[in-house]
C-alpha cells in the first residue's frame, strides 16, 4: 500500500490541556492552555508533545521507572528494526485481525494506542489509518518511535508523552483505541476506563487486553508479581509483592489480573453499552517454565482452558 502523505495534518484541534481539558494555543514550540485559571504550558521535545505531569502516582511511577530503563539503548540489545520484525511476525496479524472483528480500519480512522512504547503497532497500521496516535509515559520509547517513523518517511503520527489517566485529547476524537496489557498497570482502573471512553467518538471502540484472574494468575503469574484484583487476594498479593519483596519481581511494575465479569462491569460503569470479553489469543512461550514437557503442558492448558487463559480481551463500543 502506498504511504499516505499527511504532512500539514493539523493535530492541535484534537488536543487539550490534560489538567483542565481547556483549549490549547501554540506559541512557537510551546502549547499554552487558554483557561484563565490554568494557563499551563507544555513543551515539545522534537516531535513529541510533553504532557507528563510533574507528579506521577505511585503505581504508574513504579511502572514508568521500569519501562524507561527497559527502552534505553543498551549494548547487546536487539535493534529497533529486529524487534519490529519480530513484532510483525509474531504479533501484528493476530492483534490486527482481532481488532478488525469489532471495527474495520479505513481512510478516515483515527487510531490511538495507549502505552504505545516505540510504536511498533502504530507503525504497522500507519498506512491503514488517517492518523496514528501514541501515548506513553516513557520518553525513551517515544524517542525511538519518532526516529524510526521519520526514517521510514511516515508522518501521519502524533506522539504524546503523558499519563493515560489524564489524556490531553479532547472528547469524541478516536475511532479505535488499543491497549495491549496497559490498563492493568493503573491502580485506579475504573477511572482510566472512563478516560478511554471520553476520548472515543460515538461508534468508536476501546480494545484492551488484560491478564485473566484465574488459576494461571494465582500460580505462574506470581513469578512477576501479579496482583489479583479481587478482595483479600489483592491485599495479600500487595503485601507480599510490594511490602515484603519490595517490588523485586514486579518486572512490569504494578500489574492486576481481572475476572472477565469484573472488567466488563467496570466498562459498563464507564458508560459503554456494549462490552465483549473473551480469550485474547496470543503466541505463548512460557519461557519461565523450566522443563520442555511441563512448558508444553502449561501452553496446552493456557490455550484450552479459561482457568489458565493468560490474557482476556475486553472490547467496549461507545454508542
Alpha-helix residue ranges (DSSP H) falling in the chain: 58-71, 80-87, 93-100, 120-125, 139-151, 189-199, 215-218, 233-238, 260-270, 292-304
Q: Are 114 and 182 in contact (CB under 8 A)?
A: yes
Q: Could you tell me how many residues of this chain bind Zn ion (CB under 5 A)?
A: 8
String marking each residue 40-69 x if it binds Zn ion according to CB under 5 A: x-----------------------------
Closest to Zn ion by CB, 6 vs 35, is 35
Neighbours of 231 (CB within 10 A): 7
Choose the binding region for Zn ion from 17-25, 79-87, 228-236, 237-245 (rule: CB under 5 A). Answer: 17-25
Q: Are 84 and 123 in contact (CB under 8 A)?
A: yes
38 scored as a contact of Zn ion (CB under 5 A): yes
Burial of 7 (0-12, 13-18, 19+ CB in 10 A): exposed
Backbone angles phi, psi at 62, to 5 degrees: -60, -45
Choose the binding region for Zn ion from 9-17, 98-106, 181-189, 199-207 (rule: CB under 5 A). Answer: 9-17
User: What 3-state class would DSSP assign to 212?
Assistant: strand
Min dist. Cβ of residue 163 to Zn ion (A)? 14
Closest to Zn ion by CB, 32 vs 122, is 32
32 scored as a contact of Zn ion (CB under 5 A): no
Min dist. Cβ of residue 194 to Zn ion (A)? 19
16 scored as a contact of Zn ion (CB under 5 A): no
Q: Are 6 and 130 in contact (CB under 8 A)?
A: yes
Inter-CA distances, 51 with 30, 48, 109, 159, Å:
11, 9, 24, 10
Min dist. Cβ of residue 40 to Zn ion (A)? 5
Min dist. Cβ of residue 43 to Zn ion (A)? 15
Q: Are 157 and 124 in contact (CB under 8 A)?
A: no
Min dist. Cβ of residue 289 to Zn ion (A)? 49
167 scored as a contact of Zn ion (CB under 5 A): no
Inter-CA distances, 241 with 64, 74, 233, Å:
17, 28, 12
Instruction: Indicate which single residue of 6, 22, 128, 249 sits in contact with Zn ion (rule: CB under 5 A).
Output: 22
Choose the binding region for Zn ion from 34-42, 82-90, 175-183, 236-244 (rule: CB under 5 A). Answer: 34-42
Min dist. Cβ of residue 25 to Zn ion (A)? 11
Min dist. Cβ of residue 179 to Zn ion (A)? 25
Q: Are 204 and 249 in contact (CB under 8 A)?
A: no
33 scored as a contact of Zn ion (CB under 5 A): yes
| Cβ neighbours for 285, distance < 8 A, ≥ 6 positions apart | none
| Cβ neighbours for 87, distance < 8 A, ≥ 6 positions apart | 120, 121, 124
Closest to Zn ion by CB, 17 vs 205, is 17
d(CA 226, CA 60): 15
247 scored as a contact of Zn ion (CB under 5 A): no
Instruction: Indicate which single residue of 20, 240, 289, 301 sits in contact with Zn ion (rule: CB under 5 A).
Output: 20
Min dist. Cβ of residue 115 to Zn ion (A)? 24
Instruction: Indicate which single residue of 35, 47, 222, 247 sits in contact with Zn ion (rule: CB under 5 A).
Output: 35
190 scored as a contact of Zn ion (CB under 5 A): no
* Binding residues for Zn ion (CB under 5 A): 17, 19-20, 22, 33, 35, 38, 40
Amino acid at each position: 500500500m502506498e504511504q499516505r502523505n499527511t504532512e500539514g495534518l493539523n493535530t492541535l484541534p484534537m488536543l487539550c490541556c490534560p489538567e483542565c481539558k481547556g483549549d490549547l494555543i501554540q506559541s512557537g514550540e510551546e502549547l499554552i492552555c487558554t483557561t484563565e485559571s490554568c494557563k499551563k504550558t507544555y513543551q515539545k521535545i522534537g516531535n513529541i508533545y510533553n504532557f507528563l505531569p510533574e507528579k506521577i502516582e505511585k503505581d504508574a511511577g513504579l511502572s514508568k521507572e521500569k519501562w524507561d530503563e527497559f527502552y534505553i539503548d543498551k549494548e547487546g540489545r536487539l535493534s529497533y528494526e529486529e524487534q519490529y520484525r519480530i513484532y510483525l511476525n509474531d504479533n501484528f496479524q493476530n492483534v490486527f485481525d482481532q481488532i478488525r472483528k469489532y471495527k474495520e480500519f479505513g481512510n478516515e480512522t483515527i487510531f490511538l494506542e495507549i502505552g504505545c512504547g516505540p510504536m511498533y503497532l502504530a507503525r504497522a497500521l500507519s498506512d491503514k489509518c488517517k492518523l496514528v496516535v501514541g501515548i506513553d509515559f516513557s520518553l525513551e520509547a517515544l524517542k525511538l518511535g519518532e526516529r524510526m517513523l521519520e526514517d521510514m518517511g511516515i508522518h501521519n503520527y502524533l506522539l504524546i508523552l503523558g499519563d493515560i489517566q489524564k489524556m490531553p485529547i479532547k472528547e469524541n476524537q478516536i475511532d479505535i483505541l488499543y491497549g495491549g496489557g496497559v490498563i492493568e498497570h493503573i491502580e485506579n482502573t475504573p477511572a482510566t476506563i472512563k478516560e478511554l471512553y471520553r476520548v472515543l467518538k460515538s461508534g468508536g471502540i476501546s480494545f484492551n487486553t488484560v491478564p485473566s484472574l484465574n488459576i494461571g494468575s494465582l500460580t505462574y503469574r506470581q513469578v512477576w508479581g501479579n496482583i489479583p484484583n479481587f478482595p483479600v487476594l489483592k491485599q495479600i498479593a500487595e503485601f507480599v509483592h510490594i511490602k515484603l519483596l519490595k517490588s523485586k519481581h514486579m518486572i512490569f511494575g504494578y500489574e492486576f489480573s481481572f475476572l472477565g465479569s469484573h472488567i466488563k462491569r467496570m466498562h459498563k460503569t464507564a458508560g459503554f453499552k456494549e462490552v465483549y470479553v473473551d480469550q485474547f489469543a496470543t503466541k505463548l512461550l512460557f519461557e519461565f517454565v523450566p522443563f520442555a514437557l511441563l512448558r508444553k503442558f502449561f501452553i496446552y492448558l493456557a490455550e484450552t482452558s479459561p482457568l489458565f487463559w493468560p490474557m482476556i480481551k475486553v472490547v467496549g463500543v461507545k454508542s
